Amino acid sequence: MRFIAKIFLVILLNAVVFWILDTKVFLDKFIISGAIEGYFFVAVVFAMLNLFIKPFLNLITLPFRLLTLGLLGFFLNAFMLWLLERSVNFLEMFNTQLEIDGFATYILAGIVLSVLNTLFNWLRS
């Protein structure tokens, strides 16, 4: 039961992070179209990608992460956001579209996403 509550909390916090990214405070070219359920849909898809694909990518890129002293992590987060954009736009559920325009936007959104998730995890514990 505690595991399921943790999953729902992570999805809720990710939905808040995606809402913050969409408010144009940090980035102008990060757009989520749709109502409030769109943020939750994007958060669920992001959680699924992080659960199934990111551990495999972390394992593959481990030697390069060590060589770059962790800077490859920014590019890995950008790739995960690119994959998220493709997945959300392919699924077309809840009339939700995700548009991220430009490589710099992917990198900056990955950094903001990491910082806000770290902050939320610190506040949660």
Task: Note whether residue 11 is domain-resident.
Answer: no
Distance set, CA 2 to CA 9, 12, 51, 125 (Å): 11, 15, 17, 14
Q: Which positions ≥6 away from 93 have C-beta within 8 Å?
A: 41
Task: Note whether residue 7 is domain-resident.
Answer: no
pTM of the entire predicted model? 0.89
Task: Note whether residue 4 is domain-resident.
Answer: no
Its domain, for residue 51, covers: 20-116
pLDDT bracket for residue 5 (50, 70, 90): confident
Kindly report, residue by residue over 10-58, the tens digit of the pLDDT. Answer: 899 899 989 988 888 778 888 898 888 999 999 999 999 998 999 999 9
**What is the predicted pLDDT for the residue at 6?**
84
**pLDDT of 78 over the 80 cut:** yes
Task: Note whether residue 54 is domain-resident.
Answer: yes
Percent of the chain with pLDDT over 70: 98
